[in-house]
Amino acid sequence: MLWSPKNGNIKCSLCSYRCVIKDGKRGMCEVREHRAGKLYTLNYGLVSSAAPDPIEKKPLYHFHPGSSVFSLGTVSCNFRCLHCQNFSISQAKLDESLGYLSEYSPERTIELAKQYNCPGVAFTYNEPTIWFEYTYDTSKLAKAEGMYTAYVTNGYMTEEALLKIDPYLDAMNIDVKAFTEKFYKEMSGAKLQPVLDTAERAVKNGIHVELTYLVIPGKNDSNEEIKDFVEWAAGLSVNIPVHFSRFHPDYNLMEIEATPIETLEKARKIGLEKLRYVYTGNVVGHEGEDTYCYNCGELLIKRWGFAIKTLNITQDNKCPKCGVKIHVIR
Domains of the chain are 43-278 (3.20.20.70), 290-330 (no CATH)
User: 300 in helix, strand or coil?
Assistant: strand
Residue by residue, DSSP assigns 84-107 as: -TTHHHHT--HHHHTTT-EE--HH
Q: Can you give 48-59 as a three-state secondary structure string?
A: CEEEEEEHHHCC
Q: What is the pTM of this model?
A: 0.97
11: DSSP letter: E
Per-residue model confidence (pLDDT) at position 18: 98
What does the DSSP 8-state code read for residue 251?
A: T
What's the CA gap between 22 and 24, in Å, rounded? 6
Strand intervals (E) in the chain: 3-6, 9-12, 20-21, 32-35, 38-41, 46-47, 49-54, 68-73, 102-103, 120-123, 148-153, 171-175, 208-215, 242-246, 278-281, 291-292, 299-304, 307-311
Rounded average pLDDT over 28-43: 97
Average pLDDT over residues 88-117: 96
Write down the pLDDT at residue 251. 94
Q: Are 134 and 2 in contact (CB under 8 A)?
A: no
CA distances from 26 to 189, 311, 324 (A): 17, 47, 52
**pLDDT tens-place string over residues 246-287:** 999 999 999 999 999 999 999 999 999 999 999 999 999 999
Burial 282-296 (b: 16+ CB within 10 A, else e): bbeebebbbbbbbee
Identify whether 59 is preceded by a cis peptide bond (ω within 30 of 0).
Answer: yes
pLDDT digits (tens, 9 = 90+) for 188-239: 999 999 999 999 999 999 999 999 999 999 999 999 999 999 999 999 999 9
pLDDT of residue 298: 98
